[in-house]
Each structure stands twice: as C-alpha cells, then as structure tokens.
Amino acid sequence: MDRWATFDCYGTLVDWNGGILRELVRLFGSSRAPCVLERYHELERVVEEETYRSYRDVLTLTLERIAAAEGVALPPAERDALHRSLPFWQPFPEVPAALEEARRRGWRLAILSNTDRDFIEASMQLLGVRIDLAIVAQDVQSYKPAHGHWQRFFEESGAERERHAHVGASLFHDIAPAGELGLRSVWVNRLGERPGSEPTRELRDLESLPDVLDGLVPA
C-alpha cells in the first residue's frame, strides 16, 4: 500500500509570515508591521471561526479590521492587497528538494490547506513538485482545526491511517487536530515555539523530512 504524507501549505511549505509581512510593511510601515502581524495571526483565526467565508474574503476582512483597529485609513484599492500577493509567496528554500526526495522514496504527497482552489494551484506551481492531491477549505466549507480536510483526504485517497503522517507548522491548526484524530504528526517548528499539543516528531525545517517520514512509516 502507498505511504502518504499530508502537508499544511502556508507556514509549512510556503513562507506565509514573509508574504503577509511584506504587505503589512507597505501598508503600515516597517516599525509597526511586526506587531500588526501578531494581531493578524489572532484576528484571522477569529474571522475563520465566525462562519465559512472564502479565504479571499478572510484575507480582505481581516486586513480591514486590523486597519480599523490601528486607526489606518485603508485605501479601497488596497483592500485586496493580501490576496493579490498570495500567489507570489515563495516556498521555503529547502522545501522543493525535500518533497522531491520524499517522492523519490515512494511517498505520495497531499496538501490540506485553509485556502481557496486558485490560491493553492498557484502555490503548487511555485513548489515545482508534483502533488498527488490537494484539499482546500473551499472544498469542505470549513477551516482547520475542524476535521473536514482530513476526512475528505481519507475519502478521496483511500490512504490507510497507519501508512500516513501529517506535517504542519501550526500547533493549533494542524498538530492538535491530527492528535485528536489519532494520526502521526511532524511539527515544523520554524519559530522556535514551545509545544502545547505534542507532535510525534519535531523538526526545525524540512531538510531532514524524508528520513523522518521513513522512520515513522518504513517502506
């Protein structure tokens, strides 16, 4: 049977913080942008929990609310600044080679992402690695940490849980729900955080991921 690795995309494979921060610097200035980014993390989660909206709308509404809270008059032409820039957010440097090596060793790859279909298609083009399956919030009408992405993945892939591992950078969105579902997880701790939900394995980046995956699910 196939071995499957599922991945969060933004923050895990693609530099989510870097992509958003560049826009926040442009809109709020370099001195304010890091604090605004912290607030963005908090507020985006609230917007996603309110009701299902497209990720395009989540980006727009979150940015509008932050601008209002910061007392910044957001020009109408900048309301869509984040979703305009998202298709150009870059993968982390080690990611394409790590994914290619995992594929070479026989792993099938899937992405489970809190985004829209057009966004993930653009990001997969930048990854430059064949992805076997992508499940997005638009497909399941919910955002992680809800379990809809994983449920759809197992339905569509036919993957066996004992031959699967989930890889993510967010304890809240990925590692905690993987634990609730009894799944193996690899936490990509790029920010040097302290774990709340315990992953099966922890990495600083994805350079050694193929070896870690093989250790979790031998060929």
Catalytic annotation, residues: 8
Q: Please name the amino acid found at residue 60.
A: T
Distances (CA, A) of 110 to 70, 115, 132, 149: 38, 14, 6, 11
Residue in 151, 14, 198 with CA at minimum distance from that of residue 94: 14
The 10 Å Cβ neighbour count of residue 10 is: 24
DSSP single-letter state for residue 13: T
142 with 115: CB under 8 angstroms?
Answer: no
State how far the Cα of 156 lies from the Cα of 173, in Å rounded to an integer: 21
DSSP E strand boundaries for the chain: 3-7, 107-113, 133-136, 164-168, 185-188, 201-203
Report phi then psi at 113, rounded to 5: -130, 140
Report phi then psi at 14, rounded to 5: -115, 145
Residue in 27, 15, 129 with CA at minimum distance from that of residue 77: 27
State how far the Cα of 151 lies from the Cα of 154, in Å rounded to an integer: 5
